[in-house]
Structure 1
Amino acid sequence: MSTPSFHALTIGECRRETADTVSLRFDVPPELADRYRFAHGQHLTLKTSIGGEEVRRSYSICSGVDEGELRVAIKRVEGGVFSNHANDALAAGMSLEVMTPMGRFTTPLDPAAAKTYVAFAAGSGITPILSILKTVLAREPRSQFLLIYGNRTVSSIIFREELEDLKNRYIGRLAIHHLLSREPEEAGLLSGRIGADLVRELCSGPIDAASVDAVFLCGPQAMVEEVRDTLTAAGTPAERIHLELFGTSAPRRASAAPASVDDPVEGATIAILQDGKRREFTLAYDGDTILDAAHRHGADLPYSCKSGVCCTCRAKVREGKVAMAENYSLEPWEVEAGYVLTCQSRPLTDRVVIDFDAA
């Protein structure tokens, strides 16, 4: 697995998708084509300077794997520094620093398979789902896909025309149910919100919870967790449910060191292994996260959201123990194997060795 790295890419197209959403297509030079090959459902971390400060944000790729383009969509968020900048100031011909694709919100595909896929998306949560949907339908000609997509109004439905075109292209294989929370009178579209009641209703009709092959959930944390829990209760195996959050609740701080640790004032010795090099520094047990402390000591470690969601800062603990405040992206087997999110981790032992080169 290649180490994540940034490269300056030119915006080939800046396209208005809705009144508050733009999509950016990046031109990838031939010498970087291999570095920017992506799996359906992955994301890009974009970096730029706004008001003299470096700003990083992760945005999901909305292109299908076989479409020959690299595109993300960015919805304006109230008070969002990067999203407002993207919607107001970015244009074709401009350049951004773009990290190589990352993320595990995906699933292996088999051209001979005949599977059933279900996705629940809210608002801009459609972006990775669109990539997954297009890739699945193109690469698994015997598979079927059901999408439940929630928005406030018809005008806020991102990629509405493209979704309709896809439904017409894949008649009998793609079903789309739009759910509107603020236009209940809109003819032909469902009203309400995505939640437990809707999921239970669908499980008594078009969704066979126990036999669905893969479910993808993308949206606000409360919605994603409610749908996940309802599907699990209805019989969907947990390992078939894939989650991606757009926003989380307020993060908790990691636990402080236990009383048995000697000299908590001086703190723990942290060793960072990256690109075959080693960097050491001291970190107070109740101080910064390992990621923030490493950056203060000159390490250029990969990160994006700093909320435990994107998994960009994933690394392996080779020695010692840490506590993670939040984890929305690591699988149970990864935690068992010693992987942590360094943006959420603080030391619990007097020495911790973190390996960013671990695959």
Structure 2
Amino acid sequence: MARFHRLPVAAVDRLTEDSVALTLAVPEELRADYRHAPGQHLALRRVADGAEIRRTYSICSPAPEAGSDGPSTLRVGVRLVDGGSFSTYALKELAAGDELEVMTPAGRFTLEPAPGLFAAVVGGSGITPVLSIIATLLAREPKARFCLIRSDRTAASTMFLEEVADLKDRYPERLQLVTVLSREEQQAGLPSGRLDEERLTGLLPALLPVGEVTGWFLCGPFGLVQQAEQALRGLGVARSRIHEEVFHVDAAPPAPAPAAVAHSAVTARLDGRGGTWPVQDGETLLETVLRNRPDAPYACKGGVCGTCRAFLVSGEVRMDRNFALEPEETEAGYVLACQSHPATETVELDFDR
């Protein structure tokens, strides 16, 4: 069960003009709780002006070794978002010695080290989970190779530039690095411009044997992830080999939910305890559960992070939108509670599965 703990900030390192890396110290007694797979994320919480703010950031540091007590530190990358209350606080106020409320790791955009060829297409801050994936994979599996295709606006805006360069120097034969800048010409390498479906369809087969890639990891803004997926599907890649994590979804209004079912109720199991509560008019199932169980897991409430994933035991729901669950997860019966509305008089969710 996901839980918050207060962790001290060990360092705030400037990466670019608009981004920082936060290093969090993990006390020895909590290290087992913060064991994480490469690619998982953390939800950070603070209260400002009486309102609770939660934001999700991917762990960019390597995953701890199997059999270890867990990580002594965790590192996440934070990019400034226009009007973003948490990112503004992180870049302009947060300092070493402060404390943050940090949820235990979550997320399924992960890769357990295994032999084979893997690849990623990332944009902007989408490098953060993939940095952890690459560092962990290449350190633990000598028969693994990785091709990283990353897109950024300019060299100066590129997060974790030195860290990626260090990995390339450490594994020159096993890490292929391709950088595309959308707003700046490079002295060498690919021409500038956006990575869209048409460009990726021509570029990817020229870089690597697309059909031999065991797993593709797409991470970044919704547009880039969508275009990359369409390019890969057009090149014959099975959907099961494509893994996605979306950052920065446009704040367009979600699709309207169907008319609410009168007198609907939700039964939820959470941390081994269950309860049944009426769903108020217009509420999502997460909002209903939170009114009665404030410990219910969530972070973004926008259908992006997947923290509120729950198994639909019975009943039917309609989801406004979904940028977090893979098709096989929805087919298996999982839903995003923050986007789900009841479509039957009774709905049962299990947050523990």
TM-score with structure 2 length normalisation?
A: 0.93
Q: Which position in structure 1 is the counterpart of 2:87?
A: 83
Asked whether the equivalents of residues 251 and 307 of structure 1 are also in contact (C-alpha less than 8 Å), the reply is: no
Distance in 1 separating the partners of 2:258 and 2:146 = 46
4+ aligned runs moved over 4 Å, structure 1: none
Coordinate RMSD, CA, aligned:
1.7
Q: What is the match of residue 290 of structure 1?
A: 285
From 93, 100, 105, the counterpart of 1:96:
100
- What does 1:1-359 correspond to in 2, within 5 Å? 3-66=1-64, 68=71, 69-110=73-114, 113=115, 115-184=116-185, 186-190=186-190, 191-249=192-250, 250-253=252-255, 255-257=257-259, 264=262, 267-284=263-280, 287-357=282-352, 359=353
- Following superposition, the deviation at residue 332 of structure 1 comes to 2.9
CA distance in 2, matches of 1:309, 1:152: 23
Once the two structures are TM-superposed, the CA of residue 47 in structure 1 deviates from its matched residue by 0.3
The structural deviation recorded for 1:294 is 2.1
Q: Distance in 1 between the 2:319 and 2:279 partners?
A: 15
Distance verdict in 2 for CA 1:290–1:253, change over 3 Å: farther
Letter in 1 for 2:118: Y
Which residue in 1 is equivalent to 2:68? none
C-alpha change, 1:205 and 1:309, in structure 2 (3 Å) is same
SS at match of 1:205: helix
TM-score, length of structure 1 as denominator length: 0.91
Cα pair 1:307 1:344 within 8 Å, conserved: yes
Mind listing any 5+ residue stretches in structure 1 that lack a counterpart? none
**Percentage of matched positions with identical amino acids:** 45
Contact 1:251–1:325 (8 Å) recurs in 2? no
8 Å CA contact retained: 2:36, 2:64: no
| Alpha-carbon shift at residue 298 of structure 1 (Å) | 4.7
The one-letter amino acid of 1:109's match is P
Structure-1 separation of matches of 2:272 and 2:242: 36
The amino acid that maps onto 1:269 is A
Q: Deviations over 1:313-351 (max 9, x none)?
A: 111222221111112222333323322110000001111
Cα distance in 2 between the residues matched to 1:319 and 1:79: 40
Contact 1:121 1:148 in 2 (8 A): yes
Q: CA deviation at 1:257?
A: 4.4
Cα gap change, 1:127 to 1:20, in 2 (>3 Å): same
Specify the code of the residue in structure 2 equivalent to 1:76.
L
Segments of 5+ residues of structure 2 without an aligned counterpart are: 66-70
Larger deviation, residues 295-304 vs 7-16: 295-304
Q: Which moved more, 1:243-252 or 1:75-84?
A: 243-252
Which letter does structure 2 place at the counterpart of 1:272?
A: A
Report the AA paired with residue 214 of structure 1. G
SS of corresponding position for 1:145: strand
Q: Which moved more, 1:67-76 or 1:141-150?
A: 67-76
| Alpha-carbon distance in 2 for matches of 1:7, 1:166 | 31
Once the two structures are TM-superposed, the CA of residue 109 in structure 1 deviates from its matched residue by 2.0
Partner Cα separation in structure 2 for residue 356 and residue 28 of structure 1:
26
Measured in 1, the distance between the counterparts of 2:136 and 2:298 equals 27
* AA at the equivalent of 1:139: R
Q: Distance in 1 between matches of 2:208 and 2:225?
A: 17
Judge conservation of contact 1:257–1:349 (CA < 8 Å) in 2.
Answer: no
User: 1-side partners of 2:197 and 2:335: how far apart?
Assistant: 31
- In 2, distance between residues paired with 1:341 and 1:44? 17
- Against the structure 1 CA distance between its residues 36 and 146, is the aligned structure 2 distance closer, same or farther, given a 3 Å change threshold? same
Q: 1:316 to 1:66 in 2, by over 3 A?
A: closer
Counterpart of 2:308 in structure 1: which amino acid? C
